[in-house]
Amino acid sequence: MFTISHSDGNARVGKFQTAHGEFNTPAFMPCGTKGAVKTLTPDELKTLGVEILLGNTYHLTLRPGEELIKGQGGLHTWMGWDGPILTDSGGFQVFSLSKMRKINDNGVEFRSHIDGEKKFLTPEKSIDIQLALDSDIVMAFDECATGDSDHSYAKEAMERTHSWLTRSIEQFNSSENAKNRFLFGIIQGVIFDDLRVESAKFVSQQDLPGIAIGGLSVGESKDHMYHSLEILLPHLPNKKPHYLMGVGTPEDILNGVERGIDMFDCVLPTRLARHGTFWNKTGRHHIKNEEYKVQRAPLESGCACYTCSNFSASYLRHLIMESEILGHRLLTIHNLHFLLDLMRNIRKAVAEGHFTKFKREFLATFQK
């Protein structure tokens, strides 16, 4: 379960214990969307300091299917990762298929993006899939309304999410496979303060092991995101982990931790790497820029990652210009190291009581 060891303002340091080990919070979870973090092995992830991965219910149920994975011993055994795994419910992916799905109160009918086959996903089915995958942290099925939804639709989606949470809880509690697993509920409400507070109160009342905030970073402004986190904080259970879904830029992580967030996930470190983009202490940069053509220095001076310890920016630019897979791997290693090192430094700053100073100094040099 979850224990908090230090706090500094609303920022906290803690640990969450699962059947497959513990992870430290604040935590960043790389996305193993289809059973792998793109281009990296489990051993490389451990070397980087990854403690928990995210798996994607939607993609894994479409291919190869949860029953195949269950027959292989579960997702941990199948992908060679013995640490904790959190699976999303599939809701975000299904609702992003706006032209390929139909919603009713029972669930969502959609067509597979792979072959167009018609599928139907319900709260009960989502829970069953995640338990078949042997997930440590299971997410309730929710409706993720878009950031530009009006109040009327946002309220409808929130109420449907609450109904589906009740059904998710019932299905989870009735399953023999739920032993030593944890179910998190999800807050929705788009950018409307009254709906966000109503949803936070409803989800908190379910007394689940953790609480997630969904439907942010889906098109609304950064100011709206941060404001939503601020108005939610007084209504979140203090002794439970708070998970901000789908968020993972350095500035958003710092602002989230400042507002009581303990867990983050995002595809950005690996996606940016595949497009030749990397982070360092001065911000976000593109390796294809001409300035890196003859740069003998690494991506970041003093960086301890394998990439910066062994290769120049010039060589990395060459690999990316030539679409060499090694280039994608090396940038991925660096980007994940950068974020995971940020999480380590955040935990240290909170434990030592100077998180605000650390955040201010980091963002003074980091250009978004």
Q: Which residues are identified as catalytic?
A: 88, 265
* Measured CA distances, 250 to 99, 234, 253, 304 (Å): 33, 24, 5, 18
Q: Is 19 helix (H, G, I), strand (E, B) or coil?
A: coil
* Measured CA distances, 307 to 79, 82, 249, 335, 340 (Å): 24, 25, 20, 10, 15
- Residues 191/228, Cβ–Cβ less than 8 Å: yes
Query: Which residues are CB-contacts of 112 (< 8 A; sequence separation ≥ 6)?
Result: 62, 118, 119
Query: Which residues are CB-contacts of 272 (< 8 A; sequence separation ≥ 6)?
Result: 278, 279, 284, 331, 335
Beta strands in 198-250 (DSSP E): 210-213, 242-244
276 vs 286: CA distance, rounded Å = 6
Among candidates 149, 155, 146, 157, which has minimal Cα distance to 104?
A: 157
Strand partners, 27: 263
